[in-house]
Amino acid sequence: MEGRSLLRFLFLLLSVVVLLVITWVRLPHAPLSTASLLDCTLYSGWCSSKNRLQATPHLLQNPQHHTRRNHDADVPHHPLDPLTVRELNDVRAILSSHPRFKSSYALHSVVLDEPDKPLVLRWKKGDPLLPRKASVIALVDGRSHVLTVDLTSKRVTRHEISSSSGYPVMTIDDMTTATVAPLADANFNRTIIERGIDLADLACLPISSGWFGKAEEKRRIIKVQCYSMKDTANFYMRPIEGLTVLLDMDTKEVVEISDQGRNVPIPKAGNTDYRYSAMEPNREMKLLNPISIEQPKGPSFTIEDGHWVKWANWEFHLKPDPRSGVIVSRAMIRDPETGNPRNVMYKGLTSELFVPYMDPTDAWYFKTYMDAGEYGFGLQAMPLDPLNDCPRNAYYMDGVFAAADGMPYVRSNMVCVFERYAGDIGWRHSESPITGMGIREVRPKVTLVVRMAASVANYDYIVDWEFQTDGLIRVKVGLSGILMVKGTPYENMNQVNKEDNLYGTLLSENVIGVIHDHYVTFYLDMDVDGPDNSFVKVDLRRQMTAAGESPRTSYLKATRHVAKTEKDAQIQLKLYEPSEFHVVNPSKLTRVGNPVGYKVVPGGTAANLMDHEDPPQKRGAFTNNQIWVTPYNRSEQWAGGSFVYQSQGEDTLAVWSDRDRAIENKDIVAWYTLGFHHIPCQEDFPIMPTVSASFDLKPVNFFESNPILRIPPNVEADLPVCKPAASA
């Protein structure tokens, strides 16, 4: 017993030391140069995300794949360029002299306060840069403060206190300290040791609590659950089932410990490691030969001034964002007839991710994550791995963000841009020999991809914005990573009674993969040939022929319905009542009189089946429909609301849309939700193969004819000569 007491004392002492170090890190420091910036993903000794505090992995084994950029001298060139290191340091200095920031505070968001849309639309390269402002969200004395900092006058020009029920995105400090704080509680340590787990093998996750009643109001709370990482890197597969710590995120006080799973064994570590270095070679599997797309003349795209992308007939602004991941703005395509750029989309981004787990038991009911509004989708972006995440000749872009104390830090290699050719066909036609014409015309399809990947604890999300020369934009989401699993006494399905509800699938001995959903909602501010657009629903319905009219008895008829108000544009997809969904400019007509437009082409998606009165679904009500259309309002960008953490659902896309505002021939925003139902299977263990879904934004009467008609075919003489190594 004396040994155990000594062990507990040592870990309590260690916890206090760690907390003191973290507190020191949060204290104000002098502004940093890029040479000393905290790069939380590559260069610091410790990193944190939604997962536990953990040592930095060996990401620099191939240093030639990463050239660290110096951001000291970065200056903005475009009105939408993100805040630079110098500007973030200026914001920090300005706030330090503000009366409200003399005591303890935390900055939860410091991003560019984008200029008004009409000003950006009128701005041309060479014009004076529009005034630079920062939008700041801070927590001071438990209340959310919203500020605008004018970087020209060096003063705060707006200061409001939010009345929202929710709190802002958690900071990295919030997540890190939440995982360490339970170690300062003797009851928690005793519980872990009684479970037979060495505290040195402990890994913990900070889990957002959602909102389930008034008992959770007026303080920021978080739940912490832990795992054993003994003998495996994949600690997610070794849950300490039923142990949940309720923590006050501001005081770091343990409010409650729920321990209801002592009869559930911790799953074994065997066969859970997914690292290549830990694999036994499979001599029965033939390895693939290396594959790479060679570009001896280099890529065809350019990135001007760090953020303006030009490729083929496309150009657009691109920037990393701590909440949405990446933002694509001012997307324009050149008309093949006139050569003039034409507006397609003013702004596109990942607005929110809603991930509810389908287990109502005590240790699981609250797992209903909002990964953008609670954790920061961009804050969870990890460095992309050259040659594996992105191919050769990819361009990498860093994110420069502000920490809780305002100090800038770098998310290295957060976004990549590359050209993709997978042997796809842009268009083709071959004449049958019976015509005697001998025509065979084929064009290859080369596309441009903007990619980011966020590792939100166990799950990895890959988001691609893919631009095609025919004007199509494809938005694709890939899901990979590791399941969040539940411990169970069962080792085989023959032990499970019919009346037992596993809430998922038995994946391995003592491991259940819990059923869950993923919904990814995108904000799409379409400006098709200008800001004033309309939403048109084109319904396809069976039409019966009249008696004697035709040998046919039925055909399909397309009927156009222009949405007058928001409720007219709330769309739930129906397989047997098909429709097309067009965003058109009624004032711009083609040569033959059709309004120019783009259509939202749904891909694989899922409908949310949860009860609308279920507390998580009230917060995630933006997933009740697959498509929404709202009038443009710069304050309505986040589908779950501006302040999502512990929100009650009073400020969501569903609430805004129910105002039923006019949307005909207005500046409008379309919203689309990709959905996934995930019933786990054994192939998902111990790590999941990527599953993907996408939707398209496709021109519809936008061009007078095929816009890639004049693209030349590939010719052998234009291509590099590459020989296999065996014949070289």
Cβ–Cβ under 8 Å, residues 208 and 375: yes
Q: What are phi and psi of 476, to 5 degrees?
A: -130, 140
DSSP code for 611: -
DSSP code for 65: G
Could you tell me the two tokens for 53? Answer: 């505090």
Secondary structure (H, E, C), 660-699: CCECCCEEEEEEEEEEEEECCCHHHCCCEEEEEEEEEEEE
Active site annotation includes 459: yes
CA 56/CA 197 separation, integer angstroms: 24
Closest CA to 77 of 403, 318, 323: 318
CA 687/CA 562 separation, integer angstroms: 46
Q: How many CB atoms lie within 10 A of CB 601?
A: 16
Catalytic residue among 371, 460, 529, 651: 371
CA 626/CA 657 separation, integer angstroms: 13
First to last CA, the chain: 70
Location of structure tokens 């500020």: 147
Exposure string over 57-86, b if 16+ CB within 10 A, otherwise e: eebeeeeebbebbebeebebebbbbbbbbb
Q: What are phi and psi of 531, to 5 degrees?
A: -75, -25
Q: How many CB atoms lie within 10 A of CB 399?
A: 23
Kind of pairing between the strands at 395-402 and 425-430: unpaired
Radius of gyration (Cα) for the chain, nearest Å?
A: 27
Closest CA to 532 of 628, 467, 596, 602: 596
Question: Which residues, other chains included, contact 166 with Cβ-Cβ below 8 Å and sequence gap of 6+?
Answer: 211, 641, 643, 644, 645, 646, 647, 648, 651
Question: Which residues, other chains included, contact 458 with Cβ-Cβ below 8 Å and sequence gap of 6+?
Answer: 51, 236, 481, 482, 483, 484
CA 305/CA 290 separation, integer angstroms: 34
Cβ–Cβ under 8 Å, residues 221 and 210: no
Question: Which residues, other chains included, contact 144 with Cβ-Cβ below 8 Å and sequence gap of 6+?
Answer: 108, 137, 138, 161, 162, 164, 167, 168, 643
Could you tell me the two tokens for 163? Answer: 């009345």
Catalytic residue among 105, 375, 459, 519: 459
Closest CA to 623 of 641, 607, 635: 607
Dihedral in degrees, nearest 10, Cα atoms 660, 325, 479, 653: -10
CA 265/CA 273 separation, integer angstroms: 19
Cβ–Cβ under 8 Å, residues 415 and 453: no
Strand ranges for 181-313 from DSSP E: 202-208, 221-228, 243-248, 254-259, 302-304, 308-311
Question: Which residues, other chains included, contact 57 with Cβ-Cβ below 8 Å and sequence gap of 6+?
Answer: none
In this structure, which long-range contacts are made by residues 502-506, counting pairs with CB atoms below 8 Å and at least 24 apart in sequence? 503/358, 503/359, 503/360, 503/361, 503/364, 504/358, 504/359, 504/679, 504/680, 505/679, 505/680, 505/681, 505/682
Location of structure tokens 């909440």: 323
Active site annotation includes 274: no
- Which residues are identified as catalytic? 371, 459
